[in-house]
Chain A
């Protein structure tokens, strides 16, 4: 009897798990499937496999897209992608640098109001995007900062520094401070210790933070929507604008490519994580 219940239970659990993953991945799977759909007018109707949307993305001529009547040109779309990439790269660079240095300062030095600064650094992550977006917009307009790539980069950095700070801080907290003492004890200056001991030890955290910052920056819509100028539209903002006028099939191809890029970046992150230097086996030595 119990065996039977166990069997039924396991079946139910299996079914539930399956349903869960279908729910999670079916929409994404559909987008990937549609990106290969050759029907230019209604992408919900399958009319044979085609790589035309990908071709059109890379500027190759094809029969379908010329037939379709859409406001946005492929050129605009690619420009938005370029803006996104440029913004994400610069943002990643700045927020990784500042976030890592901030984490180092808070972890390795003692100063007044330390806890307060720590809270200040967490806050931008908790702040609703829409509030941050409006606040930034009002600030930029008030301060006379022209809206464009620059304002987007500044805006993204305000909260991405927090993300990097958080990840690097966690890594630093797990690092044996004796290693830095040992380095100083052996005659190394603070700079040499940072370069040869601390940075290699926290590198997985720094890279993880950078990858996360890049992905979030590429992906951000709400904040960017407020602070992007007319001719500096990022990809998410562009796609959002496009959808309001109907869905251009290239979106499916872009989405699929973005998905692929995200997977690659995530895999890279996982790879770097697993490849991290073995933590010193001295943990058990602390009696």
Chain B
């Protein structure tokens, strides 16, 4: 991976404390490591208060670290003020200068660096063209819609080709349709420009759609770093599993290990056989099952599949698929998405009827659980 050789940003053991108005110390960053490669789209994902915005503001220079190292293009940045960092930010609120025209907003970074007038005009025009706002130089920010302001903020931040672009939940104020369109555009733009993007969001769908890599943060700790599919399919812990996508976590315990096959006893008491690599007898586990991994009928060898019995609570048609909520015998609520339900199968999905759901054991992802 390119980021391993020549990272644009490297953060090592970053620690940042806050003091709340009540006087409690809060660890916004608690030993965070992060490395972003050239031309990489990295998303910082987590619930509000997880430290993602603090981490972003540390890179832009508006927050300083209590301890730890921050390097941008190999240069230590801890003592460098924001205006001397080769980094620009697209703010959540856009923060366009209301008294300056669109052209002057976009040209601001060039003015500061003393770029000649003709070159400035050309580069401002090109940047606006790139975000689909060509020819609007004369307008004022107040005359633009939210989506247009978003594009101008983007043009302003890329006009002088920074080494790194930071985006602080820039799409959160847009409506759903516009947001999805902008997600694709941002991804294309990043590819076209070859600038590394660090994108902050609490929206897991957004993160999965756009990122090369996702950094899941919670409580000031990095929970997991990985490609979207890795994170979705193989979450490192229960937090990540719960935060990314819909998931069902079933408790289980390793009963025995023999010949590379572990026998697990799940909540319902049925023994489940799984590859035993890395498992120990007595170890408590979570079995992660995504809703779409359930089947109404056993699709193959019953020994390679697990089954869950329960009573249908609710069935909702969500377009093409049926979302079934099942109350299992042990009282846990299972969410399953069932596709291509035949008329006969639909009978079984009526609320109140007993139902057995099947899942392939090799599709199940195991997460170490607490005892």
Chain A residues in the interface with B (C-beta under 8 A)? 176, 178-179, 181-189, 192, 196-197, 200-201, 277-282, 284-287
Say yes or no: A278-B89 contact (C-beta < 8 A), given A186-B108, A200-B99.
no
A277 neighbours in B (Cβ, 8 Å) = 98-99, 140
Question: What 1/0 mask marks residues of chain B from 92 to 113 whose CB sits below 8 Å from any chain A CB?
Answer: 1111111100000000110111
What's the Cα separation between A124 and B155 when bound, in Å?
A: 48
What's the Cα separation between A207 and B108 when bound, in Å?
A: 26
A185/B98 in contact, CB under 8 A: no
B111 neighbours in A (Cβ, 8 Å) = 196
What's the Cα separation between A188 and B112 when bound, in Å?
A: 6
Which of B84, B92, B98 is in CB contact (< 8 Å) with A285? Answer: B92
What's the Cα separation between A281 and B142 when bound, in Å?
A: 6
Least CB distance from A258 to B in Å reads 34
B95/A282 in contact, CB under 8 A: yes
B156 sits at the interface (CB 8 A): yes
Of residues 55 through 106 on chain B, the ones whose CB sits less than 8 Å from some CB of chain A are: 60-62, 81-84, 87-89, 91-99
Which of A188, A201, A282, A287 is in CB contact (< 8 Å) with B96? Answer: A282
Chain B residues in the interface with A (C-beta under 8 A)? 60-62, 81-84, 87-89, 91-99, 108-109, 111-113, 140-142, 146, 149, 156-157, 160, 172-173
**Residue in chain B with minimal CB distance to A197:** B97
A184/B81 in contact, CB under 8 A: yes
Least CB distance from A286 to B in Å reads 6
B62 neighbours in A (Cβ, 8 Å) = 181, 185
A197 neighbours in B (Cβ, 8 Å) = 97
Least CB distance from B208 to A in Å reads 21
With A181-B62, A185-B60 given, name 17 new contacts (CB 8 A): A176-B93, A176-B95, A181-B91, A182-B91, A184-B61, A186-B83, A186-B88, A188-B108, A196-B108, A201-B98, A278-B98, A279-B142, A280-B98, A282-B95, A285-B93, A285-B146, A286-B93
A-B contact pairs, 9 of them (CB 8 A): A179-B97, A179-B98, A181-B95, A183-B108, A186-B108, A278-B98, A280-B95, A281-B98, A284-B173
What's the Cα separation between A196 and B157 when bound, in Å?
A: 17
Q: Which 10 A-B pairs have the closest CB atoms?
A: A278-B142, A277-B99, A182-B95, A178-B95, A285-B173, A280-B98, A282-B93, A186-B109, A187-B112, A184-B82
B94/A282 in contact, CB under 8 A: yes
What's the Cα separation between A184 and B98 when bound, in Å?
A: 16
**Residue in chain B with minimal CB distance to A286:** B93
What's the Cα separation between A178 and B149 when bound, in Å?
A: 15
